[in-house]
Amino acid sequence: MNRISRKHIAAFLLASSAAFGIASASAQDGPGGHMGRHGGGSMMHLRGLNLTQAQRDQVFKIYHDQEPAVHEQMKQVQAARQQLMQLASADRFDEASARQAADAQAKALSNLAVLRAQTMYRVREVLTPEQRQQLDQRRNDHRRPA
């Protein structure tokens, strides 16, 4: 996998984590560990929920299975963004083409949002009711103003 696609996947996984409302910068499992190299950022929001190894494996598989779709949507976002940049620096501005590129970018971002929601739902299915409650409490605590 090339450097750009890893960057995009990492961004997706971080966004997925953020969507749970958990912003944590911890390295419980360092590089190369089960949660480190392949999914640390994606699974970091689950830290402290005492996941079993089977749950960790299931969550890893969920994120791993989403990688191709995420990668494709990120390519769509990037292509539309590049097209918009080219249109913005052209000698003559083509508003119709710019709207078309902006719509393509919006659709790709929308598809990414659906993928994130689907991933979050699938991850929650792996959790016990108690773990879901803990996760929800963290999200609520994190969203409260200080």
25-38, pLDDT tens digit by residue?
333 333 333 333 33
> For the whole model, what pTM was predicted?
0.64
Question: Which of the residues in the chain have pLDDT under 50?
Answer: 1-4, 16-41
Q: 133 burial class (0-12, 13-18, 19+ CB within 10 angstroms)?
A: exposed
Question: In sequence order, what are the residues at sequence separation of 6 or more whose Cβ sits closer than 8 angstroms to the Cβ of residue 36?
Answer: 27, 29, 30
Give pLDDT tens digits for 5-28: 555 555 555 554 444 433 333 333
pLDDT at residue 141, as a whole number: 83
Region label for 133, one of left (φ > 0), alpha (ψ between -120 and 50) or beta (otherwise): alpha
pLDDT at residue 7, as a whole number: 56
